[in-house]
Structure 1
Amino acid sequence: MIEVYVDGASAGNPGPSGAGVFIKAEGSVIRSSLPLGTLTNHEAEFEALIHALTLCIDKQFRTISVRTDSQLVSSAVDGRYVKNKGYQPYLIRCLALVDQFDLCFIKWIPSSKNKMADELARKAIKQNK
């Protein structure tokens, strides 16, 4: 199974933001840092997941296990519901991508277990223009 670690970060809330994605796939590793412009931290977390899912679809991975340190994102996607209607468009985009996989798990992990994705997200913040 493909292991996917995602993290979104913001320098301010809202502020310059970035997405970090770290994928362990069949003996190889994929690292991605994506500058996101000005977003809130939660928006950056959703965008990081969207970026990761898109990468996995592009690589034609069919079964993935996603790990995030965002409890909001993991519970929203897992429960297919978000209380804050401002995040609804993000959830809709995430679910449309999740539904393209044969199997897609999403799991919350503590920040201490998500260091590589966090580093990539922080790198992406610095890439904002």
Structure 2
Amino acid sequence: MKEIELYTDGACSGNPGPGGYGFVLKYKEHIKEKSQGYASTTNNRMELMAIIKGLESLKESCNVKVYSDSKYIVDAINKKWVYKWEKNNWLRSNNKPALNSDLWKRLLELVEKHNVEFNWVKGHAGHPENERCDQLATSAIKETPLIERDTV
């Protein structure tokens, strides 16, 4: 299977507010970048959307190393919280609904298709690909027209 690196970031101007995502895919010497802006969303939704859209852009099953500055996402996957939410009908341990379950469901489908490893990187710390994803996400907020709904 191909070895892919996927760098992602989400941004929001207000939370909720206009937002965007950006990702950088690397395969050998090939690099693909993509971003999109949304009229009304949250930062966590854009963080999730960046990973989803990056994984969806792959044409075949791959080994993917995801790099995200979202502890929310990396911990939810690596500490298996999201699988507990799913098993509990998208309720957290406090019986409150798990937020963003629509996007989590889509992400879990993609994780089944690929061999995905989630890695946390510190945001705004000079990591070149993370900084590029941040630029893509924040510039997407300023592009028009923005998509109204941030669903997959």
Same fold (TM over 0.5): yes
TM-score by length of 2: 0.76
Q: Paired residue for 2:120?
A: 108
**Aligned equivalents of 1:38 and 1:108: distance in 2?**
26
Correspondence 1:85-104 to 2 at 5 A: 85-101=98-114, 103-104=115-116
State the aligned residue count: 126
In structure 2, do the counterparts of structure 1 residues 61 and 127 end up closer, same or farther at CA, with 3 Å as the change threshold?
farther
CA change 1:61–1:124 in 2 (3 A) is: farther
- Structure 2: unaligned runs, 5 residues or longer: 86-91, 146-152
Going from structure 1 to structure 2, the CA distance change for 1:61 and 1:123 (only over 3 Å counts) comes to: farther
The letter for the 1-side match of 2:66 is: V
RMSD of aligned C-alpha atoms? Answer: 1.6
Could you tell me which amino acid in structure 1 is paired with residue 75 of structure 2? Answer: S
Give the superposition deviation at 1:128.
4.1
Q: Give the C-alpha shift of residue 86 in structure 1.
A: 1.9
Bigger helix share: 1
Unpaired runs of 5+ in structure 1?
Answer: none
Query: Contact 2:61–2:113 (CA<8 Å) still a contact in 1?
Result: no
- The alignment-based identity, stated in percent, is 29
Structure with greater Cα Rg: 2
Higher mean C-alpha deviation, range 60-69 or range 8-17: 60-69
Q: Distance in 1 between matches of 2:144 and 2:19?
A: 8
